[in-house]
Every structure is written in structure tokens, then in C-alpha cells.
A and B are shown apart, each in its own frame.
Chain A
Amino acid sequence: MQVTRRQFFKICSAGLGGSSIAMLGYSPTAALAEVREFKLARATETRNMCPYCSVSCGVLAYSIGDKSKNAKAKIIHIEGDPDNPVNRGTLCPKGAGLLDMINSPNRLKFPEVREAGSNEWKRISWDEAITRITKHMKADRDANFVEKNAEGTTVNRWNTFGFLASSASSNEPGYLTVKTLRALGVVALDTQARI
């Protein structure tokens, strides 16, 4: 052990600050040593899935409130579902950070429109958004729908409108999406699965 004389003095004097404070009764409070409270004690637990990769890990989403009428649920923590046979409670860095995706400052909250040639977004109501979009769609469809091809075969397609579908939405909205699009005659339809 090599300690210089100067170090020795430093150790004594500097270290003494705290020690002597306690000695003189200036300890800030009685030094109880409680661990941090377990923050999920009465949080509501909901079984869900991670939205990222195709391992589709089971997650437990914890939200504040007990689902009573006046308590607005807010997800405060997410961890792996230990029962799920595939992930067995584990999560990767993406899944373990899922809370920050849900709370991302870049989440869209309201319908918006960017008008032709404009340089900004404008907030609009759902009703206005649906009205304007469907007006475009109907005009486009009525103008470009092909009922029969050159040979006279009934083809009932609308190919000036295209749709790229999500691979992160659940099976049920996925099914409803394909059902409604095919009813409209859409053929230019693809999904993230391709690429």
C-alpha cells in the first residue's frame, strides 16, 4: 500500500466532512433504509403482445387506475409475460422500451391534412377527414373503374387506387381491410410482408 503524506492528509480531512457531521448530530434525518416502493402494487395488469417482430412476445401492460369509472387508464410499465411459452417473460431492447413507443412525442393524436402545395399540417376533424378522403375515392373510382376488359370479360377492378397494408395490425382489422378493399374492386394491394 503506497500512500503519500499529502494523500494521507487528504484522506483524513476530506473524509472527515461527512463523518464528523454525523458525529456532531447533523445527520439529515434518522437514517432509515427503505427500498423504493414496488411501483406496481395495485396497478392493473393487462395481457398483450409486443408489436415489433414476429416472435410476438407476450407482454404484461401495467396501467394506473383499477378500471373504475373515473380513473383514466395510463400505461406506466411493460414487461414480459412469464406464461407465454415463447418469450417466457423476456423482452429484447425494443420490447423492453415499448413504453416509450406508446408515449412517443411523435404519436399522431388528431387527423390532419396537408393541402396541395402547402408546407404545413392542418388539424381537421375525423368527419372532415373521412368526408374529404371518400369524396376523392369515389370520384377516382367512378372515373377509372373497369367493369369489363377489352375482351368483354367482367373484371370489376379499380386500379388507379392503391393500398399498402400494415403488418402490425391484428388479424381482425387486417381481414376487414382486405374484405372492404376487394369489395371496392381494389387490385393494387400489397403489404409490408413483401419487403
Chain B
Amino acid sequence: MTNHWVDIKNADLVVIMGGNAAEAHPCGFKWVVEAKKGRKARLIVVDPRFTRSASVSDFYAPIRPGSDIAFLGGVINYLLTNDKIHHDYVKNYTNATFLIDEGFKFDDGFFSGYNAEKRSYDKATWQYQKDKDGYAMVDETLQSPHCVFQLMKKHYSRYSPELVSKVTGTPKEDFLKICGMIAETSVPGKTMTILYALGWTEHTVGSQNIRTMAMIQLLLGNMGRAGGGVNALRGHSNVQGITDMCLYSEVLPGYLSAPTDGDKTFDEYLAKRTPKALRPNQMNFPQNFPKWITSLCKAWYGSAATKENGFCYDWLPKKDAAYDAMAIFERMHQGKMQGFVCQGFNPLASMANKRKIGDALAKLKYLVIIDPLSTETSEFWKNYGEFNQTDPAQIQTEVFRLPCTLVAEDSGSYTNSGRVAQWHWKAADGPGDSKGDAEIMAALFLRLKEMYAKDGGKFPDAILNLAWPHRIPAKPAPEELLMEISGKALADVYDPKDKTKVIAKAGEQLAGFAQLRDDGSTSCGNWIYGGCWSQAGNLTARRDAADPSGLGQTLNWGFAWPANRRILYNRAGADPSGKPWDAKRAGIRWTGTAWAGNDVPDMRPDAAPEEKVMPFIMTPEGVARLFAPLMAEGPFPEHYEPYETPLDNNPFHPKNPKATSNPTARVFKGDMDSFGTAKDFPYVATTYRLVEHFHFWTKHAHINAVLQPEHFVEIGEELAKEKGIQAGDKVKVRSNRGYIKAVAVVTKRIRTLDVDGKKVHTVGLPLNSGFTGVTKPGFITNTLTPFVGDPNCQTPEYKAFLVNIEKV
């Protein structure tokens, strides 16, 4: 979330699309209700299903799964055509004025530079025009045909309400009503917030779904403002924290891009990741990359990391290919993996195409499960009849299962979706011989270290020298770890403006990332958490809920990264002169000498407005991007059909079959054959969670099993009638990858839509079922889903694919 949970109450309009906050995040959704109660906010829900969120909305509109960009592109077109944008904001705080290379083109579904063989783009023409100093050129009049504003206007002029309705199935008048409601928030005195979740991410165009809304929020001037923002409602309780710690292949803690084979030396690596400002006077905050990575290396390799050896840069593993979950399972399926650990992760149930996952796991030599519960993955080898047909004797994988504790049985910090890290205290021991995650990782690592010390082996250096400053080595304490994450001075740290002034003495905890250095004098495990445990102590454990501004910022409750900032880009909440756009919901303001107010300024504190330091400090241009060349499939989001579509073509490009679906999506060779067509599988399916259950966990909890005891699928009344299915009947749902059986719920809440002249029925597939648990044993819904993903973040397309359904 760019903003945070409580801030939702400050909105005038709440849009829930690509998510279902009432069911997935009920306690966060309360702030939507508070906005309605407290400031008469309106709630719009756009979803294939009339959800529980829709049940308390002011306006609901249905949409076909996988057509969100068509809808949102239509909104952009409406805003531009009707001139309902926040002009000062767009002109000053976005790249609307920037000039793009004259070679940039969009032609019948493809941007310039496509390489069909590589299924990717050469982005040479997607760049800014630059002047002799290397700065991007702009046209303040917004009239040049090559400026982002005009290119955007042209791109979305095709998204007429008629075509939007034809593609999305949303009735035109519903679409226009929503456009009108959204447009009202383009005035400076009104804000809109958008709450989305996996309903946007889990598509082959997932990242672009979100970008389209980000563009809308920029056009409306809603970023960086109370009651505004683009708010991803994330999954697990600490998914934000674990993402920040970067337990994934592309990055190191704090989102530091991980080294690849191309980054031969430390200097080369730094040079590629330390950008130069693209406009004069900009903060260009990523220029501090060397300080962050050096401090990380010091935290990991301690005194072994020296300036001379590039702070042990060579010890960091370099990536030669993609190693995201989809790629890992593809490699495993090809027999390229020996061992695998699932720590609190149940991929047999949660990855797409269960059969492929089960086959892949069976090719491993050893599998280790670290979990509090008996997961399906831990028993992938076991024959559960129709739910999991296997022959255990044929599966040679050795499987270990290690019991770990649950949160109430451990101390530590969790970071919520609003980036607020909060400390929790252990209440009791876990059952039996269960151990905490840190103790288990320590046990595995320390044993390996012992073996390498004794017997030697391949490259033992990083293992033997890994800093391990724990008083009880086998039990690294959460307090010690958080202090390491936060950062400390290894030598005296001096004020850069006054080289005689010590700002942190050797051995002291640092106050924040501004004190990090690239000379090895500081250590910090994760720069964005810098200062969360300062000399003042553990700031994540703060429990002062005082809220003097009334905006819900609670600056002394826990610690929000970065720098305890509650609303990101809050400089954009004030006009160029430093005056808040809306005095009643003021974030920060220019006092004449400094930035101050109800939040920690997202700006150099003494940057006077005349200096024109722009609010989006993490981009080298200082402004937000309406045009974003980093995206794999194009700098402007374009509608592409899901990989399994009920339509014959992409109605935006009916004559170009190559532009039907995202031309850059992640598809592995063998998986192309696993896709089905509308001829055999005529209905659109979408998967989702139920409010009564949390993923595959709560089916193990009695209370939740009572509330929703058995797997079901939802269909509309029209499809039910056509198929002779009544509520309560057992039905079989098939995709080209397998089948599941479940009870049918027949409902008015799923409508049959008119799409491109066809009737499109949607089949709703809750996914909380499985064959272990205290609920009725059931099928795994991901038996049905396709193994194809978004090209930017490799998230599989769980939300739109094709099935058939019949009564059993």
C-alpha cells in the first residue's frame, strides 16, 4: 500500500476492483465502512461476482474476468476526453510533459521493437529524448505529438465506452456511471482510493492491470495524499515483511537488485544500479545504492568484507536465469533439481496446475517441509483417491517434515500491508517438539558449517565466514536479528556537512538509512528498515496510538518503513509551492524553512519549493511515470485476452491473431499444449478465497470448518438452468489440466454477460479446499489452473481460464 489501512477512512470515493476486501481483509475493510459513515464516501465495486464487498457498496458493476485493462483504459479515455484531470498535478508531478523517442510506435497490438523469437521487446524506442547534458527533454505545453500526454491520449482514444462494454461485458451505462463518479475526484479537494489484490495480479497482464489504475490515480492527482494512493491489499500477515526481506531470487534485502552473470565485478554491478538523475535538481534516491549494498555485505560477511575485496561481492550468488516459483517448478519438472525446502508454503495446493507440481516433486531426491500443519505438499506422495491419485511405491523422494511454531508461539516483528512493522510477544510454547523458524534455519546452517569446517567442500568461504553475532548461536534471538536488520555503526560515522561532527559512535545503532556509508563503516541488513531499532530501542514495539492529526497516522505506533513514513510520496500531497492540496487532510507542508506536518516528509527536509525537487524521489526523473518503459509488454498498458479466452480474438485487434494475448507472457514450452479452447471448455473460470477461510490453513481449524465445511463452486442461475444443475448438486468442473468435484452454489450474484456478441458464463471456484484438514476432504482447485504467468513478476494466471461443468 502506498497509504495504509486506517487512511482509507479519509477517502471520498473507494474503488474495489481486482480484489474483495470485505472477504479477504475484513478488519481492513472496516476503514471503508468508516469512510462511508464518517465522510459520506461512496463505494464502487467492479468484480465478476457480486461479492460481500459489493453487498455494502453504493454501486456494483460486473466485469468479465481478465478484461480490467479494457475497463480502466476506458476510464483514462473518459477522463482525458472530458478533461477531468488534475492539471497542475499531472503537469508537475508526472512525466506527461516528457518527450519520447520519435521512433516509438504502437501498431495493431504491438509496440515498436518486438522480437517474436524471444517473445520480448527491444526498448530502444521507448526512451526519453535527451539533451546534451543527458537530461530528459520536456514540452511544458503538452502539445508535442511525442510528449507522453499526447501519446497517452492517442493510445487510449480507442477505448470507447462501446468497445469497453463489448470487451468487458459491463453494461455501458454502468461503466459511464462509474467513470462519472471517478471523475468527480479530479478536483484537488477530493480523493479516491483504490483497493486491489490478487484479482489484478493473477493475470498474464497482472502488473499492467495495476499500472493502468496507477495512471488513473496520477491523472486525478490522488497519489501521496490522505485518502488516495494505489493500495495493494497483500496476502499473508507478514507477506510485506518477507517481500521486504527479499526472499526471492531477483533481489537482496531492501529490493537491491541481485547480481547476475553479466555483473562481473563489484564496480560494474554498482555502475549498472546507480542511476544518474534524468532531470536537474532531482533527489534520484537510488544513487545511494552503493551505501545500501555495502552495508548489507558488512552485515553478512562482517570483517571478511573489505574495500579491497569488493566487500565480498564475489560471495553473493549470481543468477544466470529466472528462478521464480514457476521457473523453479519447471526446472524441477525437467529433473534439474535435487533438493527442495517448503517453509510455510504449500505449493501442491497453491501453484497452478497441480498435476505438474506433483510430478515435479516426485523427481526430487529430498524434500523438506517446515510447517506447523500437515500440508498437502508434505503428503504429495500419498494416495488420497480421486483427490490425489499416486502410487507411493513409485515415488522415490525422501520427505522430511519439521514442525515449526505459529506466530503466537514466537516473538518478533510483522509488517502489515500498510508497511507498519509491529512487534509481537510469545504467549506460549508450540506443541510437542516444534521449534521456531529461526532456530530451524540455524540448526541446518550451523550443521552445514560444521561439516564444511571439518570435511571441506565446494566454496566454503561464505559459509564459514558468515557473520553470526548471536549470544546463543543455535537460537538467534529476534531482538538481535532486528538490530542487525536496522543497522549499526562499525566505526564512528561523521556528518557529511561537518566532517568533525560524529553522528553515530562506533557500536551504536543507526538512526536511519541516511547514516549508511559505502566505505564499510556501517552495517545494515535491510536499508529500508534502517532505524527501526535505533539508539532509542525497538521502535516496532511502540504502542502509543495517539493520533493528533485525526488522519489515523499514529506515528508512534510501531515503525513504518521507510523512515516511519506513513504515506508514500507525501510531497505530492502539496502543490508545487508547498501548500497542501486540501487543508483538511494535510500531510506535509513547506513551513518556509522546512517540510513538516502530519507525516515524515518524503522529501529532503530543507528542499525549498523553488528548487523544484519533485516528489517521486525514487525515480531518476523525480516525477511519476504515466509512460513506463520498464514494463515488459509496453510502456502503456494494452488490453490482451487471457491465455484461455472465450473469444475468437482480441476485440481491440480483431485482425491480428498474434495480439490476442500478452505477446510477452511467461509460457514454458510444454505448457502451451496444456491450454484448452472455448470449443471444449466454454465457460470462464476464476478462483478466489472465501471469507471463512485463510488459504489452506483454516481448514485445519474446527471453528472455520464449521463456518464453511465443504468445497463448492458458484454458478449463475442462467448457466445452472442450461445445465440442469440445482443448488446443492454435486458437479464436476474440468479444464484441460484435470477436474474437480464440488457442491454447486447457484446464485444471482454471478451474471451471464454479453461479450462481443456472445453470452459468457462465469464459474466461480473457491480455492480453500484440500485433502488434509478437518473440513470435508476435497479436491485442490489449482488442479484446474494454467501454468502461464505475467512477464514482469511471473505470477500465474489463476483468475481467468476456461472450464466446462456438468452435474455428476
Residues of A within 8 A of B (CB): 44, 46-59, 61, 63, 72-75, 78, 80, 83-88, 90-102, 104-119, 121, 126, 129-134, 136-138, 140-142, 144-145, 147, 149, 151, 153-180, 182-195
The answer to whether B414 and A170 have CB atoms under 8 Å apart is yes
Find out whether the CB atom of A141 lies under 8 angstroms from the CB atom of B457.
yes
Among B338, B398, B415, B693, contact of A56 (Cβ-Cβ < 8 Å): B415
A-side contacts of B693, CB under 8 Å: 94
List, in ascending order, chain B residues with CB within 8 A of A118's CB: 392
CB pair A110–B432 under 8 Å, yes or no, is: yes
Chain A residues within 8 Å of B242, by CB: 165-167, 169, 171, 174, 191-193
Q: Is the CB of B323 within 8 A of A159?
A: yes
A192/B344 in contact, CB under 8 A: yes
Which residues of B, 303-324, contact A by the 8 Å Cβ criterion? Answer: 314-320, 323-324
Interface of A, secondary structure class, is mixed
Decide: B241 and A136 in contact? CB cutoff 8 A.
Answer: no
Instruction: Assess whether B437 is interfacial by the CB under 8 Å rule.
Output: yes
Of the listed stretches B73-81, B171-179, B279-287, B370-378, chain A binds B370-378
Q: Is the CB of B425 within 8 A of A93?
A: no
User: Which of A83, A158, A171, A179 is the most central at the interface, judged by chain B CB atoms within 10 Å of its CB?
Assistant: A171
B525 CB–A CB distance under 8 Å: yes
* Interface pair B466/A52, CB less than 8 Å apart: no
What is the distance, in angstroms, from A81's C-beta to the closest C-beta of chain B? Answer: 9
Residues A55 and B704 in contact, CB atoms below 8 Å apart: no
Beyond the given pairs A73-B427, A93-B704, A101-B698, 15 more chain A to chain B contacts, judged by CB atoms under 8 angstroms and listed by A's residue number, are A47-B424, A85-B554, A104-B774, A110-B432, A112-B401, A113-B398, A117-B392, A117-B394, A129-B400, A166-B370, A170-B410, A170-B412, A173-B441, A177-B245, A191-B247
Query: CB of B233 within 8 A of chain A?
Result: yes
CB distance A182 to B235 under 8 Å? Answer: no
The residues of A that contact B424 with a CB separation of less than 8 Å are 47-49, 170
Q: Which residues B17-33 have CB closer than 8 A to chain A?
A: 24-28, 30
Contact A142 B406 (CB under 8 A): no
B301 to nearest A CB, angstroms? 9
Query: Whole-angstrom distance between the alpha carbons of A13 and B69 in the complex?
Result: 72
Contact with B345, one of A131, A161, A164 (Cβ below 8 angstroms): A164
Q: CB-CB < 8 A to A168: which residues of B?
A: 236-239, 344, 407
How long is the Cα–Cα vector from A57 to B457 in the complex, in angstroms? Answer: 46
Are B703 and A163 touching (Cβ within 8 A)? no
Chain B residue at minimum C-beta to C-beta distance from A170: B412
Residues of chain A within 8 A of B798, CB atoms compared: 195
Report the minimal beta-carbon distance from A167 to chain B, rounded to whole angstroms.
Answer: 4
Interchain CB contact under 8 A, B415 and A116: no
User: Which 7 A-B residue pairings sit nearest by Cβ, starting from the closest?
Assistant: A109-B432, A166-B344, A170-B412, A97-B703, A108-B403, A173-B437, A56-B416
What is the distance, in angstroms, from B570's C-beta to the closest C-beta of chain A? 18
Q: Once the chains are docked, how many angstroms separate the CA of A175 from the CA of B487? A: 13
Q: Write out the residue numbers on chain B whose beta carbons fall within 8 Å of the beta carbon of A170.
A: 238, 241, 407, 410-414, 424, 437, 478
**Are B700 and A172 closer than 8 Å at their CB atoms?**
no
Which residues of A have CB within 8 Å of B545? 83-85
The minimal Cβ–Cβ distance linking B21 to chain A, given in whole angstroms, is: 10
Which of the listed residues B27, B314, B337, B393 has the most CB atoms from chain A within 10 Å of its own CB?
A: B27
> Across the interface, do B366 and A104 meet the contact criterion of CB distance under 8 Å?
no
Contacts of B448 in A (CB 8 A): 134, 137-138, 184
Q: Which residues of A contact B458 (CB under 8 A)?
A: 141-142, 145, 147
- Asked if residues B395 and A117 are in contact (CB atoms below 8 Å), the reply is yes
Please name all residues of chain B whose beta carbon is closer than 8 Å to the beta carbon of A112 when the two chains form the complex: 400-401
Residues of chain A with a CB closer than 8 A to B796's CB = 195
Classify chain B: how many residues form its interface, as a range: 35 or more
Q: Which of A95, A169, A177 is the one whose CB lies under 8 Å from B238?
A: A169
Contact of B427 among A50, A61, A188, A193 (CB under 8 A): A61
Complex CA–CA separation, A164 to B375 (angstroms): 14
Set of chain B residues within 8 Å of A184, measured between Cβ atoms: 445, 448, 462-463
Q: Cα distance A80–B382 when bound, in Å?
A: 39
A86 touches B399 (CB 8 A): no
Partner of A92, one of B27, B343, B398, B543: B27
With a cutoff of 8 Å between Cβ atoms, the chain A residues found around residue B331 in the complex are: 159, 162, 188
- Among A61, A164, A182: residue with most chain B CB under 10 A: A164
Taking the closest CB of chain B, its distance from the CB of A177, in whole angstroms, is 5
Contact of B343 among A133, A161, A169 (CB under 8 A): A169
What are the residues of chain B within 8 A of A92 when measuring CB–CB? 25-27, 691
Contacts of B243 in A (CB 8 A): 167, 191, 193
Point out which of A75, A100, A118, A151 has the most chain B C-beta atoms below 10 A from its C-beta: A100
Chain B positions within 8 Å of A51 at CB level: 236-237, 406-408
Say yes or no for B261: interface residue by CB 8 A criterion: yes
Query: What's the Cα separation between A52 and B691 when bound, in Å?
Result: 12
Asked if B632 is at the interface (CB within 8 A of a chain A CB), the reply is: no
Task: Indicate if the CB atoms of A175 and B525 lie closer than 8 Å.
Answer: yes
Please indicate which of the listed interface residues B402, B427, B484 has the most CB atoms of chain A within 10 Å of its own CB.
Answer: B427
Taking CB atoms, residues of chain B closer than 8 Å to A46 are 408, 425-428
Q: Does B476 contact A (CB under 8 A)?
A: yes
Cβ contact within 8 Å between B401 and A136: no
State the CA gap A195–B722 with chains docked (Å): 34
The residues of B that contact A111 with a CB separation of less than 8 Å are: 400-403, 433
Give A192 to B346 CA distance when docked, in angstroms. 9
Contact, CB under 8 Å: B700 / A106: yes
Interface centre among B26, B426, B433 (most CB of A within 10 A): B26
- Contact A73–B428 (Cβ < 8 Å): yes
Closest chain A CB from B226 CB (angstroms): 15
- The listed residue (B438, B459, B547) touching A172 by CB distance below 8 A is B438
Q: What chain B residues lie within 8 Å of A115 (beta carbons)?
A: 398
Q: Which one of B138-146, B248-256, B754-762 is at the interface?
A: B248-256
Encode B477-488 as 1/0 by CB contact (under 8 A) with A: 010011011000
- A107 and B438: CB pair below 8 A? no
Among A83, A118, A189, residue most surrounded by chain B Cβ atoms (within 10 Å): A189
By the criterion CB–CB under 8 Å, are A155 and B318 in contact?
yes
Q: Which residues of A contact B253 (CB under 8 A)?
A: 175, 178
Query: How far does the alpha carbon of A142 sit from the alpha carbon of B774 in the complex, in Å?
Result: 42
Do the beta carbons of B27 and A55 come within 8 Å of each other?
yes
Report the Cα distance A100→B639, complex, angstroms: 44
Tell me if B769 counts as interface (CB < 8 A to partner A).
Answer: no
Question: Are B338 and A140 closer than 8 Å at their CB atoms?
Answer: yes
Contact A136 B398 (CB under 8 A): yes
Q: Which residues of B contact A145 (CB under 8 A)?
A: 458-459
CB contacts (< 8 Å) of A78 on chain B: these are: 408
Please, how many angstroms separate the alpha-carbon atoms of A141 and B460 in the complex?
11
Can you give 30 A-B contacts (C-beta < 8 A)? A46-B428, A49-B237, A50-B237, A52-B694, A54-B25, A54-B238, A83-B545, A98-B408, A100-B702, A101-B697, A102-B408, A134-B451, A136-B398, A138-B448, A140-B365, A149-B320, A156-B459, A160-B339, A163-B343, A165-B247, A166-B370, A169-B238, A169-B404, A170-B238, A170-B411, A170-B478, A171-B482, A173-B441, A187-B249, A193-B243
Is B596 in the interface zone, CB < 8 Å from A? no
Q: Within 8 Å of chain A (Cβ to Cβ): is B597?
A: no
Q: Once bound together, how far apart are the Cα atoms of A160 and B374, in whole Å? A: 26
Query: Given A100-B703, A101-B406, A132 and B235 touching (CB < 8 A)?
Result: no
A86–B320 alpha-carbon span in the complex (Å): 42
Asked whether B408 lies within 8 Å of A126 as measured between CB atoms, the reply is: no
A129 proximity list for chain B (CB < 8 A): 400, 402
Complex CA gap A47/B452 in Å reads: 41
Q: How far is the CA of A78 from the CA of B336 in the complex (A)?
A: 45
- Chain A residues within an 8 Å CB radius of B692: 93-94
What residues on B are CB-neighbors of A80 within 8 Å?
27
Inter-chain CA distance A167–B543, complex, in Å, is 24
Task: Decide if B472 is an interface residue (CB 8 Å cutoff).
Answer: no
Q: Which of A86, A160, A166, A175 contacts B484 (CB 8 A)?
A: A175
B3–chain A nearest beta-carbon distance, Å: 12
Does B502 belong to the interface (CB within 8 Å)? no
Residue B264 lies at the interface, judged by CB distance under 8 Å to chain A: yes
Interface-centre pick from A83, A88, A108 (highest chain B CB count, 10 A) = A108
